[in-house]
Amino acid sequence: MARTTGPPVYGETGLAPDHLTDLASRIEPTGDRSPIPVRTPITDDEIGTVPSCTAADVERVAERARAAQSSWAETPIETRAAVLERFGDLVSDRRTELLDIVQLETGKARHHALEEVLDVPLTCSYYAANGPAILADADRSGAIPFVADASVTYDPVGVVGVISPWNYPLTLAMTDAVPALLAGNAVVCKPDERTPFIALALASLLEEAGLPDGLFQVVTGDGPTVGSALIDAVEYVAFTGGTETGRTVAEQAGRNLIGCSLELGGKNPMVVLEDADVETAARGAVKGAFTNAGQLCLAPERIYVHEDRYEPFLDAFVGATRKLSLGLEFAYGPDVGSLIDGDHLELVEAYVEGAVDDGASLLSGGRHRPDVGPFCYEPTILTDVDPDSRIACEETFGPVVSVYPVAETSEAIERANDTPYGLNASVWTEDRARGRRVADEIDCGTVCINDPYTVGWAAVDAPMGGFGDSGLGRRHGPEGLRRYVDARTIATSRIGPFDAPPGVSPGWFAAFMTGLTTLQRRLVRWLP
């Protein structure tokens, strides 16, 4: 791995500590609060502080959001869409500053940060263009044709809580917030305490785009205090994070009888069929497994390769991996950046060391690189991994992937599905029709063919979410918008109450309604 050195910590735009302090001043806790130090993984230095908010702070912010939401809900959806389209434009225009902040907070490579910045304008444009039609009043079939009708209208739920993670702090906050705002809700965002400044920068851009005051607010603090208080203060919660925390969020949301969507962990499989091009598949494995130093919920951590392609694939994959550069520049240079902090580094190291102790073979990587950065770890490829070992079953969430040979496609599918998770998978083949057939048999919310994750994530018109322990609900597409509204049915009778008219015997009316219902059922089956 080549070591690369970069420009000053504060990036291409010359971010100064005062700028981060100005962003933190957007948070207005009630009274003095202990500061939370925010450290950069690039040097492990403190770059600023944010307030440690309390449950009372969260309640006050939610009340302010609720007061602003009522007039926003009455604003025409086309006007709301225009605000969000302008916000998308601003994110694109200010991408250099946003890239610097994302890199400063996460330590990821710049081209991986760019994926976040590109995603938000696409999401804004999709919902601005399609949201009005998705949420338009809709006529539905009435109880009896020509006698009754029905229509559906959609109301915003109120205040939405967005609890966003540290690994993709820009896109995973905005992907949930943008459709919530378009639907007429207010949003209170609780970013991870390690990456608060990008959420605050986005709040500033939303304000500049014309979003009325109070509709998007940020609260900072630890999860058990601020996250729990937020769930108690809102009408819906969108959470992205670990599976065990997700269970806690779902339990609390259930007690409060509010809706929730949860994107949780994954132990994602990649299936390489015997007709796959090994160079293409290896390139996809590098992209999928080592983007953001593997700190990606969609990353493949298990690769199943048909035995006819196993050795050529390994040669190509290991060769490409060893060419990757590890570094921390604020420029498009290094291929792989840093892990988020020391605790996560220790966890990744423990997974790899445990696997090797259990007999796994280390083909590439497997080393901490403090010469590059305090938390940098080399992209790592393992083989001969015990399928029942910890690293084979648990999400590593680092630049570590295990490769296994399989004799048949059916074996690959069976092993891909041998997990409680079901977030993302990929299938590699030169026969795309066959790839689709295999994809239909893999139990994941998204399956990509000849791409590790990008074609699925970037298909913003299609829903994304997990099966099993990977979560509940969906983001993106119409499903990602309708989660934030309550549907109301308005039904009208043209003849008054549906009951026997005066003077008509109940028996005659019962026979008439039975015949009418039978005819109606037949028409439903016959008519297109």
Residue found under tokens 């600023």 = 48
Per-position pLDDT tens, the chain of length 528: 333 334 344 667 667 677 888 888 888 777 778 899 999 999 999 999 999 999 999 999 999 999 999 999 999 999 999 999 999 999 999 999 999 999 999 999 999 999 999 999 999 999 999 999 999 999 998 888 888 999 999 999 999 999 999 999 999 999 999 999 999 999 999 999 999 999 999 999 999 999 999 999 999 999 999 999 999 999 999 999 999 999 999 999 999 999 999 999 999 999 999 999 999 999 999 999 999 999 999 999 999 999 999 999 999 999 999 999 999 999 999 999 999 999 999 999 999 999 999 999 999 999 999 999 999 999 999 999 999 899 999 999 999 999 999 999 999 999 999 999 999 999 999 999 999 999 999 999 999 999 999 999 999 999 999 999 999 999 999 999 999 999 999 999 998 888 888 888 889 888 988 888 888 888 878 866
Residues with a known catalytic role: 263, 297
For residues 186 and 263, give the distance between their C-alpha atoms in angstroms, rounded to a whole number: 21
Secondary structure class of 485 (helix, strand, coil): strand
CA 233 to chain centre: 22
Residue found under tokens 């983001």 = 475
DSSP code of residue 330 = S
Helix, strand, coil shares of the chain, percent, nearest 5, are 45, 20, 35
| Amino acid identity, position 63 | E
The whole-number pLDDT of residue 288 equals: 98
Helices (H) and strands (E) in the chain, counts: 18, 22
Which of 479, 61, 467, 472 is CA-nearest to residue 249? 472
For residues 431 and 425, give the distance between their C-alpha atoms in angstroms, rounded to a whole number: 17
For residues 440 and 437, give the distance between their C-alpha atoms in angstroms, rounded to a whole number: 5
Which of 192, 195, 115, 108 is CA-nearest to residue 373? 108
Strand partners, 152: 138, 489
pTM of the model: 0.94
Secondary structure class of 360 (helix, strand, coil): coil
For residues 444 and 432, give the distance between their C-alpha atoms in angstroms, rounded to a whole number: 18
| Beta carbons of 148 and 491 less than 8 angstroms apart | yes
For residues 174 and 124, give the distance between their C-alpha atoms in angstroms, rounded to a whole number: 9
DSSP code of residue 417 = T
Secondary structure class of 26 (helix, strand, coil): coil
Neighbours of 77 (CB within 10 A): 19
The DSSP element (H or E) to which 487 belongs, if any, is strand 485-493
The whole-number pLDDT of residue 2 equals: 34
The whole-number pLDDT of residue 7 equals: 37
DSSP code of residue 461 = T
Beta strand 148-156 pairing with 138-140 = antiparallel
Which of 197, 219, 224 is CA-nearest to residue 106? 197
For residues 423 and 240, give the distance between their C-alpha atoms in angstroms, rounded to a whole number: 12
For residues 53 and 32, give the distance between their C-alpha atoms in angstroms, rounded to a whole number: 9
Q: How far apart are the first and last CA of the chain?
A: 62
| Beta carbons of 309 and 435 less than 8 angstroms apart | no
For residues 501 and 491, give the distance between their C-alpha atoms in angstroms, rounded to a whole number: 20
The whole-number pLDDT of residue 405 equals: 98
| Beta carbons of 489 and 154 less than 8 angstroms apart | no
| Beta carbons of 299 and 268 less than 8 angstroms apart | yes
For residues 33 and 13, give the distance between their C-alpha atoms in angstroms, rounded to a whole number: 30
For residues 395 and 415, give the distance between their C-alpha atoms in angstroms, rounded to a whole number: 16
DSSP code of residue 377 = B
| Beta carbons of 463 and 487 less than 8 angstroms apart | no
Catalogue all structural domains in the chain, each as residue range(s) with its CATH number.
8-264+478-485 (3.40.605.10), 268-458 (3.40.309.10)
Enumerate the H helices of 301-453 as residue ranges.
307-322, 342-357, 390-393, 409-416, 432-440
